[in-house]
Amino acid sequence: MLQASNIIKNFPGVHALRDVSIEVRPNEVVGLIGENGAGKSTLMRVLAGGYRPDGGSLTLDGEQLRMRNARDAARHGIGMVFQEQSLVLNLTVAENIYLGAEDRFTRFGLVNWRAMNTAARRQLAKIGIDIDVTARTSELTFAARQMVELAKALTLEEVVERQLLILLDEPTSVLNAADIEVLFARVRSLKSRASFVFVSHRLDEVLNISDRVYTMKDGAVVAEHRAAEVTAPELHEIMVGRGLQAEYYREARQLAPRDTVMVEAKGLGANGFYHGVDLSIRAGEIVGIAGVVGSGREEVTRTVGGFVQHDAGEMKIAGDAVRFGSPEPAVRKGIGYVPRERRLEGLVMFLSIAENISLADLSSVMRHGAIDYGKERRLAADWIKRLRIKAPGPDAACRKLSGGNQQKVVLARWMTAGSRILVLDHPTRGLDVGAKEEVYELVRDLSAQGVAILLISDTLEETIGLSHQVLVMRDGEITARFDASPGNKPNQVDLLRAMV
Amino acid sequence: MSLIPGRIATFFGGRRWRSLAPLAVLIVLCVLIAIANPNFIELRNLVRLANSAAVPLTLAMGLTFIILMGSIDLAVEGTLSVAAMVLVLLAANDGNGNDYGWWAVLAAVAAGTAMGFVSGLVQTMLRIPSFMGTLGMWFIGLGLSVYMLGGTAIKLNDASIRDLALHRFLGLPVAVWVAFGAFLFATVIQYHTKLGRHILAIGGDEDVAKLSGVNVVRVRITAFALAGFFFGIAGVLAAAQLGQSHAVIGDGRLFAAVTAVVVGGTALTGGEGGVVNTLIGVLIVTVLANGMILLGISPYIQQTVQGLMIIAAVALSLDRVRLRIVK
């Protein structure tokens, strides 16, 4: 039905898709798995008309496809249910389902809302969902919104005279187990009318719902299986691939931590997120937390960074009990937070490298109460040299740097601010292999200088490779602790067992 | 097909108590002023009130669509003055020999629409934020009308156009009926057309609207042109009421229009509110102004009160939890 051949898509500094070929057959559910950054979402966007590929071709029933936007894709019967929900919250359910397709209900320029509501009700009935179509979308639960999205994608069959292709981009990430079952039941019953591409992090889900599974890694498809003929651990092995490469993570440079305890938590808890967390990070130590989405590890790191307030237990930073309500006191305590969304939270993209570096501690470049621009530029030039930041100079705008170099600027800022504790929240997300290695090198440098580091990462491999100690969390609790000194690294299977 | 009634019902049925707050404020205001000065509820005063609400209401209708979209149109005064200028110069006047009668009205409204259309193009094609684009259009319009009028006031001599303000139908000046017509027209657009819905969707979440196949550029340009259309009508009404056009015919109109929209409960972030809210907002602003005159409050204090009111309205209505960063 749909054939994607040799698709190539590049972004500045990143090869997101290199030579990807997949096919989707009629009445089939195709699973697509891979680590973050493997290229799944990019591929989905290409299929949905959101990105135009730089190379390769798409054919639908043998006919060449050229799509400029989501509208074109819809015309060909391709609909997408997004990971980030794509409903306008201030509109009603019916208005959302037919947003952009009101023409059918329009006569003499006036929209017949009653007809639209009836049609929306019929559409929801088809997938067996009972939701008030005149309710505001913002009042629905996440699960209900997901169903509305599915119904919206299915309206295409009212206008397109061919089998639909529905792309589900991590639809289960916000759903609980019961809702996932409901969604899967819908997908199965709709298979007679449509084909699906299903993206998820959860391998068992993918195997449960799919007929065939493609595994992606570093922007390429590395394996194709019939779902019945493969197991989740096998897929995981392929997905992660690389195996443990001591060299890659600079294990030889992993030094024994010092004695000073920089972060200490006892019985730490935050309502609804995690509880009973004991944690200790010494100077020069890297502690990694492994866990799936929803395990609470994100919230633990955000507590240390000052974004989430804990309401049970106690936390000590360099011996002083603290309870942060916002990042600002955390920064004053010498904690630097390196966020995963560099573009949103890490850097002020329009400012120069120099301005970004001095942002957290302007006093370091002040003289007589005024900013000394010369000093600021010299400081930045120094960091550019020390961290090997590839940039024209201290005045270059951060938005023009590649992801790896942006990450270095974030780290330089915290070093300038005198951070003795760093929280690394997915520090290599979106970086390509070379840039990752540079970040690892830098992390080792920092650790050697006695910086205490708390790490969460997209891959187990990275967590194990970098850390001195790995904690595993599940459902808001620490379920296992592993020593990860060089030569004594735990293996991924042990971690996985404690994770799920 | 259920037209306006259904929607008004949902509105007053109160999706949230907040949507009823402006109405409550209006009622309380009327009661208080009537107690302080019974002249307030005299028929003569109510007619005067309606008359002074006509131009702000028409302006605020146009502005509501822009604010619903999450944008702003600062060109209110510029567009109004251009429309008034075109009207006066083309109809019988004491500055030149033209006498095109009602064609002048048509041209004035067209000029307003064109100004809005250009604002829309500036925002979407040049990708300039509406704040800056329409700030520019404001002064372009103002400069243009001052230049064309030669810096003086020119009298409007066309009797049939003057009748918009002077002639009464069912006890109210025709201008009031025109403004009410503008309100009904705006209501139909907002609640019963694709355009109205797409404006609301863009204000709610532009990315999602785009992904759903809404032609965002076209909707934005149309909305600005529509706003210009309303400003054009307001320009005609203003010139008819004054019997002339001069450089500062638009003075203070922007503030009044923005206040009315915001006080009515339309969110500056877009996506919430609408023209029915704005009707109430206009009434609040007009009643308050009228009341303060009746109570003999100094005009300077009146301005201060209006300034306080706009801040209070935003403070009360804004869903500040949703607003992550305030700019």
pLDDT in tens, B251-288: 889 999 999 999 998 888 888 889 999 999 999 999 99
Question: What is the token pair recorded at A232?
Answer: 């989740």
The span from the CA of A18 to the CA of A39, in Å, is 9
Question: Would you say residue B9 has pLDDT above 50?
Answer: no
| Position with higher pLDDT, A242 vs A370 | A370
**Record: contact B194-A113, CB cut-off 8 A:** no
* Distance between B8 CA and the closest CA of chain A, angstroms: 14
Residues of B with CB under 8 A from a CB of A: 1-2, 6, 15, 188, 192-194, 197-198, 200-201, 203-205, 207-214, 271-272
Assigned CATH class of B15-317: mainly alpha
- Determine the residue among B4, B188, B208, B266 to mutate to test chain A binding: the one whose Cβ has the most chain A Cβ atoms within 10 Å: B208
pLDDT in tens, B33-52: 999 999 898 899 999 999 99
- pLDDT range class, residue A343, cuts 50, 70, 90: low
Question: What is the token pair recorded at A399?
Answer: 């938005």
**Count of CB atoms within 10 A of residue A390's CB?**
15
Tell me, rounded to whole angstroms, the distance of Cα A275 from its chain centroid.
Answer: 24
List helix spans (H) across B214-252: 216-242
Q: Are A316 and A263 in contact (CB under 8 A)?
A: yes
A108: closest chain B residue by CA: B193
**Record: contact B212-A70, CB cut-off 8 A:** yes
Q: Kindly state the helix (H) or strand (E) to which residue A447 belongs, with its residue range.
A: helix A433-448
Question: Would you say residue A326 has pLDDT above 90?
Answer: no
B191: closest chain A residue by CA: A111
Question: Would you say residue B299 has pLDDT above 50?
Answer: yes
pLDDT of residue B15: 46
- B124 contact partners, CB below 8 Å, separation of at least 6: B216, B217, B220, B221
The span from the CA of A403 to the CA of A383, in Å, is 17
| Chain A residues touching B222 at Cβ < 8 A | none
Q: Which residue among B188, B193, B209 sits closest to A88, beta carbon to beta carbon?
A: B209
Q: What pTM was computed for the model?
A: 0.73
Question: Would you say residue A459 has pLDDT above 90?
Answer: no
**Record: contact B192-A100, CB cut-off 8 A:** no
pLDDT in tens, A219-274: 888 888 898 888 877 887 777 665 446 667 788 888 888 888 999 999 999 888 89
| Chain A residues touching B1 at Cβ < 8 A | 110, 112-114
**Record: contact B200-A111, CB cut-off 8 A:** no
A117: closest chain B residue by CA: B1
**Record: contact A99-B214, CB cut-off 8 A:** yes
Measured N-to-C along each axis, helices B130-149 and B76-90 cross at an angle, to the nearest 10 degrees, of: 30
Question: Would you say residue A48 has pLDDT above 90?
Answer: no
B/e letters for A435-448, b = 16+ CB within 10 Å, e = fewer, are bbbbbbebbbbbbe
pLDDT of residue A492: 80
**Record: contact A88-B188, CB cut-off 8 A:** no
Q: Are B262 and B22 in contact (CB under 8 A)?
A: no
Whole-number average pLDDT of chain A: 84
Q: Which residue among A89, A90, A101 sits closest to B213, beta carbon to beta carbon?
A: A101
**Record: contact A88-B210, CB cut-off 8 A:** no
| Position with higher pLDDT, A167 vs A239 | A167
B10: closest chain A residue by CA: A134
**Record: contact B213-A102, CB cut-off 8 A:** no
Distances (CA, A) of A242 to A132, A245, A246, A460: 49, 7, 11, 11
pLDDT in tens, A79-114: 888 766 678 888 899 998 888 888 888 888 888 888
Question: Would you say residue B24 has pLDDT above 60?
Answer: yes
Nearest residue to A60 via CA among A101, A19, A106, A2: A2
| Position with higher pLDDT, B321 vs A95 | A95
Question: Would you say residue A2 has pLDDT above 80?
Answer: yes
- A136 at B interface, C-beta within 8 A: yes
Q: Which residue among B15, B213, B272 sits closest to A100, beta carbon to beta carbon?
A: B213
- pLDDT range class, residue A402, cuts 50, 70, 90: confident
| Chain B residues touching A89 at Cβ < 8 A | 204-205
**Count of CB atoms within 10 A of residue A192's CB?**
9
pLDDT of residue B143: 92
pLDDT in tens, A123-138: 888 877 888 999 988 8
- A87 at B interface, C-beta within 8 A: yes
pLDDT over 70 percentage in chain B: 91
pLDDT over 70 percentage in chain A: 95
Q: Which residue among A69, A100, A111 sits closest to B192, beta carbon to beta carbon?
A: A111
Which of helix, strand or coil describes residue A249?
A: coil
The span from the CA of B249 to the CA of B256, in Å, is 14
What is the DSSP track for A144-161?
HHHHHHHHHHHGGGGT-S
Cβ pairs bridging A and B (under 8 Å): 72
**Record: contact A90-B200, CB cut-off 8 A:** yes
**Record: contact B188-A100, CB cut-off 8 A:** no
Domains for chain A: give ranges and CATH numbers: 2-240 (3.40.50.300), 251-499 (3.40.50.300)
pLDDT of residue B176: 95
Question: Would you say residue B83 has pLDDT above 80?
Answer: yes
Question: Would you say residue A56 has pLDDT above 60?
Answer: yes
- A478 contact partners, CB below 8 Å, separation of at least 6: A276, A277, A278, A471, A472
- pLDDT range class, residue A51, cuts 50, 70, 90: confident
The span from the CA of A44 to the CA of A428, in Å, is 22
| Position with higher pLDDT, A35 vs A141 | A141
- A82 at B interface, C-beta within 8 A: yes
pLDDT of residue A244: 43
pLDDT of residue B214: 82
Type of residue numbered B142: L
- Determine the residue among A88, A117, A134, A156 to mutate to test chain B binding: the one whose Cβ has the most chain B Cβ atoms within 10 Å: A88
Distances (CA, A) of A195 to A5, A77, A192, A380: 18, 10, 8, 53
Q: Which of A144-153, A344-353, B128-137, B194-203 has the lowest mean pLDDT?
A: A344-353
Q: Which of A273-277, A343-347, B120-124, B203-207 has the lowest mean pLDDT?
A: A343-347
Among A74-78, A143-147, A170-174, B187-191, top mean pLDDT goes to: B187-191
**Record: contact A111-B188, CB cut-off 8 A:** no
- Determine the residue among B16, B194, B272 to mutate to test chain A binding: the one whose Cβ has the most chain A Cβ atoms within 10 Å: B194
Question: Would you say residue A470 has pLDDT above 70?
Answer: yes
**Record: contact B197-A90, CB cut-off 8 A:** no
Mean pLDDT of A332-356: 81
Whole-number average pLDDT of chain B: 87
